[in-house]
Amino acid sequence: LDSLYVAPLVVLGMVYLIRDKNIWLYTLSLAYLLFVNFYIAWFVCLMTAILYIPFLFRFSPVNKPLEKLLTSLKMVFCSALGIGLSAILIWPVYQALQVTSAANDAFPSGIEKVASLFDYFGQHLILVEPTVRSGFPNIYAGVFVLLLIPIALLNTKVKLRDRILGLLAITFMVLSFSTNILNFIWHGFHYPNQLPYRNSFIYIFILLTFLYEGLPGIRQLRRETIIGFSFSIVLIIMAAEKIGENRTSDYTTLLSILFILLYTLIFVRLTDDRQYKRPITLLLLSVMIIEIGLSTSIGLYYLDKNEYFGSREGYASGTVPESIRTCASQLKSSTEDALFFRTEVYPSKTSNDPSLYSLNGLPLFASTTAEAPVSFFKELGFFSNGINSYKYDGSNIVMDSLFGIRYLILRNKSHWQENTRELIMSNDDIDVYENPFALSIGFAASSDIKFYNTHYENPLENQNQLVQAIDPDSSGVFIPALLEIDPASQADLSSFNQSDTIFSFVKGSDDETAELKLTLTAEEEGTYYLAFDMRGHKTSGGKITID
């Protein structure tokens, strides 16, 4: 959040640079912003580029072309200086981003319209559900801004040139939302993975910046003009409920109209009762606070409902998490001789349970994760989104041993039959197993490991080949088991290989349901593993029956 606090300082610094020829606030705040959050800094840098021309004409003390050119050169120099001061971090980050999956995003081949203007208009209304995973931009800043837009455009105290430039800046931001190319550039030449329109706060900042200067224009207008604006906005709000993909709810429509009418009455009184300016202004502020407070409360309700914002039971609080933390503390104190070991929690409640409980673990979820390890773990059978994360789910004793996972904490007394690990702790909530085969963080391997490559089809075969690459004298650790096709299967099935250990299947029709049955006869005692790949398939799940 500190990056959001610094963003206004960057803009203020730009005003100082243009108006007062003071370069330091802009330069240092830009450098700090780049240092603390390069992603937000990218948005702010684009915002300064949008605001620079309007600000240059608005705040330049001398209206001479040469003076404006010199100011512009100074702006370029200070921007380069700010970037240079943060280069010790920005340059390594840039290099690291080149090996992420996002680096492979192709520039859009053509211009495409994302949504209609009515869809974006509806996002300005009160009680609109916040967008998290997908949807439209979060650009609500109070419905009073809708009434201020025409008022600001008619404010003759602000030069026509400045009003036009402000309108162009706001229009450009709307186009940034609604066209794929601009949206792609805004998000760092990347297609966002969920959390769309991350530059929404820039739109709100630019909108409020220009509307603030137009606020005094209320006193210049006749009451009939303000009422006309209000009537037009009410009609558009009603249309937004019926038109477009993002149709607003009845509650949103009615409450937005109610607040528009309240603001209209207050604005009309401001034009008439100049002697009551202070009480009316306080009334305006009170209504604004009530509106924003109501919208915030409902927004938190939606977050709690859809994202489980307030539910901590079972993963952050409760008897099970407390048992896990106690266990983690005991494991650390009892293994002080070990320089490093990993501990996993299964089944997981989050994307990275070890981090939640202050343990060293295997999972990773980060936007800056390199693409290669994500693909590596995915093809070894671990759960992965294929973009920037992988989890412990899908591991086995072999992988646990190679990656130094010494302890496995089973939460909620899972049904687990273990013959390769040793039970060392247990209570009513968890069981803790120790892996006697866990390797250290570093170990010797054959040079063949440099030529090891995974392939898509069989994670268990990938694991076998990894073991053989580490130790060429090994024949692997997994022995293929033959599967038989049950004649009652309702899916068309074909074999990938001659050993009949890998199968693919398709349904006869997308509209039909099908069931695939395979039978394994366990002729020898041991641990059997089945890799079930659900990627790209519309599967409802799998079931294993032991007879």
Of the three residues 69, 99, 129, the one that is the final residue of a domain is 99
* 50, 206 contact by CB (below 8 A): yes
The single-letter code of the amino acid at 166 is: G
**Structural domain that includes position 392:** 319-434
Query: Tens digits of per-residue pLDDT, 290-337?
Result: 999 999 999 888 887 777 655 677 778 888 889 999 998 888 888 766
For 351, counting Cβ atoms within 10 Å of its Cβ (0-12 exposed, 13-18 middle, 19+ buried), the class is: middle
How many domains does one find in the chain? Answer: 4
347 plus 294 within the same structural domain: no
Nearest Cα residue to 142 out of 207, 88, 193, 86: 207
Interatomic CA distance for residues 202 and 44, integer angstroms: 7
Of the three residues 99, 122, 153, the one that is the final residue of a domain is 99
266 plus 328 within the same structural domain: no
162 plus 255 within the same structural domain: yes
124 plus 254 within the same structural domain: yes
Task: Report if residue 146 sits inside a domain.
Answer: yes
Interatomic CA distance for residues 392 and 373, integer angstroms: 13
385 plus 403 within the same structural domain: yes
281 plus 149 within the same structural domain: yes
Of the three residues 311, 341, 359, the one that is the final residue of a domain is 311
Helices (H), 418-481: 459-470
390 plus 505 within the same structural domain: no
Tell me the whole-structure pTM to 2 decimals: 0.81
What pLDDT, on the 0 to 100 scale, is given for residue 496?
44
Interatomic CA distance for residues 364 and 384, integer angstroms: 10
Nearest Cα residue to 212 out of 170, 180, 174: 170
What pLDDT, on the 0 to 100 scale, is given for residue 495?
46
145 plus 266 within the same structural domain: yes
Task: Report if residue 441 sits inside a domain.
Answer: no
92 plus 122 within the same structural domain: no
What pLDDT, on the 0 to 100 scale, is given for residue 308?
66
Q: Which residues contact 101 (CB under 8 A, 6 or more apart)?
A: 371, 374, 386, 387, 388
Spell out, as residue ranges, where the chain has pLDDT lower than 50.
495-498
What pLDDT, on the 0 to 100 scale, is given for residue 499?
53
Task: Report if residue 471 sits inside a domain.
Answer: no
Task: Report if residue 460 sits inside a domain.
Answer: no
The single-letter code of the amino acid at 529 is: Y
